[in-house]
């Protein structure tokens, strides 16, 4: 892992830095590039604008992780239930994406299960869909177990798998008999080489393998659906070729990107008629999430530095 990336990921967990950065105006200004605002209203307004101007659907995620009390997890659950109602009543094309530690996974797996199940059941009733984000490696097993349990009650749920982990191919094979919805991403946390593939080119290759594994006839027959979560133009093109050559039915795959990243690529996909959604993050607790975005592309740090002088 590059030095800059390691430093940014270490910084993402530093409380002192978080306190200061969140109050600093040039940091707040540069965050706005990736986040339309801190409130649900601002996120919905951005989703509305994308939907109306580009027919682009969204996924909403309220930032926050590693909560410390059950009441906070219950507040987050109530918030997501409200989001589902607002999406329905406002006619938005928006799914939601949740982090298990926001729902209480650190505190009590049963609490996280109850919270996630309540959200997924309501999403099912409202014909909406819930994605489960994947956090750092200690959470992979508990997250997959949550996914299994909740999905058996409310199938309107998908889970994220990270291509940088050595274990992910085996995890995917174990999930395939369910005919699941899975979002494949490269992975955004700092993990040791014993757990994560070190070379970027190998992560990219594994990403391609995992997506195409989801799109092979035996997976599709079982009902699999893949969300291809990347801004990597080369991978996007390779997967477009695969989907075209294998005549994969529409509805079994979509591209997913983050709000504000690779807008040119997003517009090209939309203009060519490819299925695409963007994930819109909002909330006051944006610091660790923002540091992970900087770590993904150290050139973003230059952007922050430049905005210091504007
Ligand atoms: P890569 O990092 O190779 O970037 C490819 C190109 O995209 C770069 O060269 C650059 O041009 C552009 N780019 C990428 N990131 C950028 C940035 N921050 N700023 C500016 N340009 C950028 N991770 C995780 O561990 N758990 C999860 O649950 C999720 N969920 C998730 C959902 C969705 C919809 C997406 C798109 C991503 C995630 N991720 C995630 C994040 C993911 O793991 C990964 O860190 C980022 O997507 C960056 O990797 P890329 O695949 O874009 O490739």
Task: Kindly state the tokens that stand for 121.
Answer: 């059941």
Ligand 1 centre to CA of 146 (Å) is: 24
Taking CA atoms only, the protein residue closest to ligand 1 atom 30 is 133
Residue 46's nearest CA partner among 304, 292, 260 is: 260
Ligand 1 centre to CA of 159 (Å) is: 16
The parent domain of residue 123 ranges over 36-285
Q: How many other CB atoms are found less than 10 A from the CB of residue 245?
A: 8
Residue 310, pLDDT > 90, answer: no
Answer yes or no: is 307 within a domain. Answer: no
Answer yes or no: is 176 within a domain. Answer: yes
Taking CA atoms only, the protein residue closest to ligand 1 atom 29 is 133
Q: pTM above the 0.75 mark?
A: yes
Task: Give 105's pLDDT tier (boundaries 50, 70, 90).
Answer: very high
- The pLDDT tens digits of the residues spanning 80-97 come to 999 999 999 999 999 999
Residue 25, pLDDT > 60, answer: yes
Q: Of 56-65, 137-146, 244-253, give the lowest mean pLDDT range.
A: 56-65
Q: What is the pLDDT of residue 229?
A: 98
Q: What is the pLDDT of residue 302?
A: 65
Dihedral sign of CA atoms 300, 306, 308, 310 in order: negative
Q: What is the CATH number for 110?
A: 3.20.20.220
Residue 309, pLDDT > 60, answer: no
Q: What is the pLDDT of residue 15?
A: 73
Active site residue 133: yes
- The pLDDT tens digits of the residues spanning 121-138 come to 999 999 999 999 999 999
Evaluate whether 209 touches 169 at the Cβ level (below 8 Å). Answer: yes
Full DSSP string of 14-68: -HHHHHHHTT-HHHHHHHTTT-S-SSHHHHHHHHHHHHHHH--EEEEEE---S-S
Answer yes or no: is 77 within a domain. Answer: yes
Residue 27, pLDDT > 70, answer: no
Q: With 0-12 CB in 10 A as exposed, 13-18 as middle and 19+ as buried, what is 293?
A: buried
Query: Of the residues 106, 133, 171, 204, which is catalytic?
Result: 133
Query: DSSP secondary-structure letter at 239?
Result: H
Answer yes or no: is 16 within a domain. Answer: no
Residue 219's nearest CA partner among 255, 175, 183, 256 is: 175
Mean pLDDT of the chain: 91
Answer yes or no: is 18 within a domain. Answer: no
- The beta-carbon contacts of 117-120 under 8 Å, at least 24 apart in sequence, are 117/149, 117/150, 117/153, 117/154, 118/77, 118/81, 119/77, 119/80, 119/81, 119/84, 120/150, 120/151, 120/153, 120/154, 120/156, 120/157
Answer yes or no: is 302 within a domain. Answer: no
Ligand 1 centre to CA of 258 (Å) is: 7
Task: Kindly state the tokens that stand for 9.
Answer: 């990921």
Answer yes or no: is 166 within a domain. Answer: yes
Taking CA atoms only, the protein residue closest to ligand 1 atom 48 is 296
The rounded percent of the chain whose pLDDT value lies above 70 is 90
Answer yes or no: is 86 within a domain. Answer: yes
Question: How far is Cα 172 from Cα 210, in angstroms, rounded to an integer?
Answer: 8
Tally of structural domains, the chain: 1
Residue 306, pLDDT > 70, answer: no
């Amino acid at each position: 892992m590059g030095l800059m990336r390691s430093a940014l990921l270490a910084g993402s967990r530093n409380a002192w830095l978080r306190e200061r950065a969140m109050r600093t105006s040039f940091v707040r200004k540069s965050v706005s590039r990736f986040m339309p605002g801190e409130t649900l209203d601002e996120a919905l307004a951005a989703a509305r604008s994308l939907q109306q101007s580009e027919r682009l659907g969204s996924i909403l995620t309220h930032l926050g992780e590693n909560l410390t009390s059950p009441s906070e997890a219950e507040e987050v659950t109530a918030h997501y239930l409200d989001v589902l109602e607002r999406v329905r009543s406002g006619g938005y094309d928006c799914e939601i994406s949740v982090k298990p530690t926001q729902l209480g996974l650190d505190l009590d797996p049963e609490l996280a299960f109850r919270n996630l199940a309540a959200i997924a059941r309501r999403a099912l009733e409202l014909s909406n869909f819930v994605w489960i984000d994947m956090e750092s490696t200690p959470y992979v097993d508990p997250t997959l177990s949550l996914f299994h349990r909740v999905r058996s009650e409310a199938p309107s749920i998908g889970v994220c798998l990270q291509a940088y982990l050595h274990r992910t191919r085996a995890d995917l094979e174990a999930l395939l008999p369910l005919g699941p919805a899975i979002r494949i991403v490269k992975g955004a946390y700092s993990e040791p080489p014993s757990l994560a593939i070190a070379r970027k080119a190998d992560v990219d290759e594994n990403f391609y393998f995992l997506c195409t594994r989801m799109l092979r006839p035996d997976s599709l027959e079982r009902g699999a659906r893949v969300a291809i979560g990347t801004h990597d133009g080369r991978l996007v093109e390779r997967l477009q070729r695969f989907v075209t050559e294998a005549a994969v039915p529409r509805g079994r795959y979509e591209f997913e990107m983050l709000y504000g990243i690779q807008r040119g690529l997003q517009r090209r996909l939309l203009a060519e008629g490819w299925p695409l959604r963007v994930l819109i993050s909002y909330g006051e607790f944006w610091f660790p999430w923002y540091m992970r975005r900087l770590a993904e592309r150290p050139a973003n740090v230059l952007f922050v530095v430049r905005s210091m002088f504007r």
